[in-house]
Amino acid sequence: MATLTKPQFSMSFTPSTVVNADGTWKVDVTLSGTSFTASVAAGTYFLDGSVGGFFEVLSAALTSADQAATGDGTADWIVGYAVLGLSRRIRITRTGLSKTLTQFDFDLGGGSVLGASQDAYTGGETEWVTPSGTVLVFDGIYQVRYIWLPLEYLMRDESHGTRTIAKSQSVSGRPSVDVYSSVWHQRVLQIEPVMGARVHQWMANDSDFASEASVVTGDPNAALERFWADHGPQTINGALPVVRVAPDWLDLTTYTEVLLAGDEWLQSMTGAAEEVSSDPALYLIRFDAQTVVT
């Protein structure tokens, strides 16, 4: 992974709440008086726009349900990212015959997923930029959840190897070493000082700190504190959630999958954040991680 790039951290999530009776999460939609439901199979997803990720699956489900209910064979839904300001927010677009949207409700078992507001999903149901016409557009007002954007440079990305060996002495007296495995998986990820509102929630709620960090005041998903708070509940049956680290937040095609396994991070978010300045509020972030070996 290259240095001097601004990374994105994306966490896999499996909502722990009860799903619908048929084992799915749903989105209820009403277009020009016609209602339909798009279903997504319960499971573990990423919100990073990857193939098979939650956005892609939801897009296909909405398109299929819309075409079947409305008879509009041109209907096409795209759920994805919009880089708005210096945050990554959800953008939902529907193209097809002219329609008026009057309902778009997530029913995913109660787990907060996509942003913040109504169910903390989309940044506000009323935020549809264009609620009627041949192109319907929704832009969330907050950072998508399960993602952390420090927007500072990844200064260090070190890998440390481990191997299993057996050392013995041959009959001739020469040492003999057998190497059974050699795996590079221990990593140190260090990010240069990050503005306070991207670390602590109380600072994200303060307009002065938020403005310094280019965060929407009150954004509940921008701070590392939210990412840390979600990391614990996503540790399912002792298995840590996979975190994808993309070295460049504007290019998500390249990433490394890691487990944030450092003891200090697991015990307390402050274990990964060291205050280096109080005015302005700046924190040095360090993660001890293990590369996911597949």
Give residue-wise pLDDT tens across range 14-45. Answer: 765 556 667 677 888 899 999 999 988 888 88
pLDDT(105) > 80: no
Task: Write out pLDDT tens, residues 237-249.
Answer: 678 899 999 888 8
Q: Residue 207 above 90 pLDDT?
A: yes
pLDDT of 196 reads 95
Q: Is the pTM of this model over 0.75?
A: yes
Which of the four pLDDT bands, split at 50, 70 and 90, describes residue 173?
Answer: low
pLDDT tens digits, residue range 55-87? Answer: 899 999 999 999 999 999 999 999 988 887 788
Average pLDDT value for the chain: 80
DSSP string of 71-110, one letter each residue:
--TT-EEEEEEEEETTEEEEEEEEEEEEEEEEEEEEESTT
Of 213, 219, 211, the closest CA to residue 195 belongs to: 213
